[in-house]
Structure 1
């Protein structure tokens, strides 16, 4: 997650087009929807171990313009290619260096109804970037692989993205959204964003799509509230309370909501300090940052709360399977 000093202005234009299809007065019974699989935490952790090894072998980081970032992208791409995804690398220039986005499309589904899920793959130069944002990148990757091995046939077309240069100001995701013709943007009916989902002193925050928590700049584009309800429904089902977090422009949902695309996702906290009230909700340490290693050299494999990572990984699958429909 990028620094507050680089945060873009939040709040976005409202847009038409909720994720759910309109109902009719005499609707037929809804078809059965495939249940989301459990996302194995061991698999997600194995991806994180690979990202740590890549950083260690490449100057200790996976930052934009550094060899560790391209090696990270190549690792993710190879896994997706082997699983049957159609992958595309989008290049761009930022701060005098070449950056890359990786886009992966799962064949099938309604091409006019796209559900996209993404995470930024780059870290800062200070460290390996395992929570920020190896955690989101690994969980999104494992969810994509679960789609492939489960035989899932989504009603919507599934697309996954791993963004470059987020830490420099959402550059990769901005370039991607800007590169889409208007007709292609309107096909994206929802974007799910996962940035820092394994913080060691975690909170369970869900992007406040309808501003029901009144936490900031207002609701997201039409359809964002459905994403929020879907994610909250998963956590309610496992007995974990959530709290809203603002669309404050600090992560890659920013370009999507500015384009009127509904968005949502989860976040376990960065440099903010956990309050006593939040400890009552979630446990952990009061007065201590959600992630004491945020943007630091200690953001390594030991900087992960496995329970938070597991729960959030499963919530990604739940959101994808629920919002995409199908069998």
Structure 2
């Protein structure tokens, strides 16, 4: 997760007259479109994290933009997706004098005029291997993508997964992607799910606040963002885990998407901020200690992951992907 705050994001007012349930009412005589998501094995997610750790260890201790460890990370993720039957594209860009890469993976099928995107940044800072920030999000969406292939899932929407480069330099990869889409191509993206730090060792359970219900004044996301938040909120409620809203503050790759009016959402387990006493009572863990004491540090290794948080968030990702892509009317745009 980047410390670099983007410029003031375009805020699109959202009016939510009533939030849809997880299963949207089908037309008369039709069957409901909900398909239950599979469980995402946390052991598989952790195996990807171990691979990212090994890549960092073998390449100077990090996976940062322009460094060999980053390209090796892209190659690892791409190899898994290619073997699973995805159409992969490596998008090249240059920033800060170095070449960067976005990895895009399209699952064949679904309405290509109605795309649900799922993304995470794959780069680390130069100080460390970046296993929570953001190996955790990258590994969780990778295993979700592989579950789509294992299940031979055929949603109504077209699914596109993305691993962004140079997020730590100020969302450079995701901004390059969005800004190089035509307006027509932007309009085809009906929602963007972002997962940046989902295994923090002293975790919170935060959802991007699509309707600005926390009242902290950052403003809502584009219309449809509240529905994404509700889908995720309902999942965590179903497993007995309370959640809190977190603002769209421009620190992660949802920024370029909401700036052009694309609904966004996702989960987050906390970075350098300290967990309050009330949050510790609600979620467990240590009060007055950072959610991630190894944020942007050398110690952000495979030992810096809370397995339960990683498991819950991985399953939440799959739930959101299955629910939203099966019910495109949830994201009216």
Please classify the TM superposition score into its range, dividing by the shorter chain length: over 0.9
Following superposition, the deviation at residue 17 of structure 1 comes to 12
Unaligned stretches of 5+ residues in structure 1:
none
Contact 1:9–1:248 under 8 Å retained in 2: no
Distance change in 2, residues 1:235/1:173 (3 Å)? same
Contact 1:100–1:163 under 8 Å retained in 2: yes
In structure 1, what is the equivalent of residue 2 of structure 2? Answer: 2
Contact 2:65–2:100 under 8 Å retained in 1: yes
- Alpha-carbon distance in 1 for matches of 2:304, 2:35: 34
- Alpha-carbon distance in 2 for matches of 1:89, 1:32: 33
In structure 1, what is the equivalent of residue 92 of structure 2? Answer: 91
Following superposition, the deviation at residue 151 of structure 1 comes to 1.4
Distance change in 2, residues 1:82/1:272 (3 Å)? same
Task: Report 1:141-152 matches (<5 A).
Answer: 141-152=142-153
1:262-286 CA deviation, whole Å, 9 max, x = no partner?
0000000000000001011101001
In structure 1, what is the equivalent of residue 197 of structure 2? Answer: 196
In structure 1, what is the equivalent of residue 163 of structure 2? Answer: 162
SS at match of 1:101: strand
- Alpha-carbon distance in 2 for matches of 1:41, 1:85: 22
- Alpha-carbon distance in 2 for matches of 1:255, 1:48: 27
Task: Report 1:223-242 matches (<5 A).
Answer: 223-242=224-243
Distance change in 2, residues 1:96/1:312 (3 Å)? same
Question: What is the count of residue pairs matched by the alignment?
Answer: 322
Distance change in 2, residues 1:60/1:241 (3 Å)? same
SS at match of 2:54: helix
- Alpha-carbon distance in 2 for matches of 1:151, 1:292: 39
Contact 2:11–2:219 under 8 Å retained in 1: no
Is the aligned partner of 1:12 residue 2:10? yes
Following superposition, the deviation at residue 186 of structure 1 comes to 0.3
Unaligned stretches of 5+ residues in structure 2:
328-333
Following superposition, the deviation at residue 216 of structure 1 comes to 3.3
In structure 2, what is the equivalent of residue 111 of structure 1? Answer: 112
Is the aligned partner of 1:182 residue 2:198? no
Contact 1:10–1:217 under 8 Å retained in 2: no
Task: Report 1:13-92 matches (<5 A).
Answer: 13-14=11-12, 27-92=28-93
TM-score of the aligned structures, taking structure 1 as reference length: 0.95
In structure 1, what is the equivalent of residue 321 of structure 2? Answer: 320
SS at match of 1:212: coil
Contact 2:167–2:173 under 8 Å retained in 1: yes
SS at match of 2:248: coil
Contact 1:10–1:247 under 8 Å retained in 2: no
Following superposition, the deviation at residue 15 of structure 1 comes to 7.4
RMSD value, Cα: 1.9
Following superposition, the deviation at residue 32 of structure 1 comes to 3.8
